[in-house]
Amino acid sequence: GGGGKPKAVLCYICGKEFGTTSISIHEVQCAKKFEAQQALLPEGQRKPLPQKPEAGEGASLEERNKAAQEAYEDQVMVACPGCNRTFSGQDRMEIHMKGCKAAQALPGNGIRDCMVPAGASAAAASPAE
């Protein structure tokens, strides 16, 4: 036995894995980076620094990582309003939305509210004269 992969700890801010000895150093740097990135965004798009999840006394590494993953997904990730796919930032989600059929079909997106379903002919969608 032994010689296995060292245990990895998930960062609740960026969602990446780090060694147990470096995670505390990483979290400090990651928090600074997160806040700096948020400061560059328009005020309405900024997110607060995610709160470190409390896994509780005696929680296993697996439980701590699950809590960190949930915190990252809930507090950092941004969901496309059309398809609910999640992205690490507003900018990436907006790039995605340009090609997302579900997002383009949303009201107020500059696209007709009554989209012709895929496979239906345009003639069938318009009233007969």
Q: What is the mean pLDDT of each run of 10 residues along the chain (129 residues)?
A: 67 95 95 94 88 88 93 91 88 90 79 40 44
Structure tokens at 34: 């997160």
CA angle 109, 110, 116 (to 5 degrees): 90
Cα of first residue to Cα of last residue in the chain, in angstroms, is 79
Helices (H), the chain: 23-39, 61-75, 90-97, 101-104, 122-125
Structure tokens at 30: 């990651």
Is residue 67 assigned to a domain?
A: yes
pLDDT value for 7: 82
Structural domains of the chain, count: 2
pLDDT value for 107: 81
pLDDT value for 128: 47
C-alpha dist (Å) from residue 83 to 4, 52, 78, 97, 121: 39, 28, 12, 9, 24
23 and 68, same domain (yes or no): yes
Instruction: Provide the domain limits for residue 16.
Output: 1-51+59-76
47 and 85, same domain (yes or no): no
98 and 72, same domain (yes or no): no
Structure tokens at 122: 């345009």
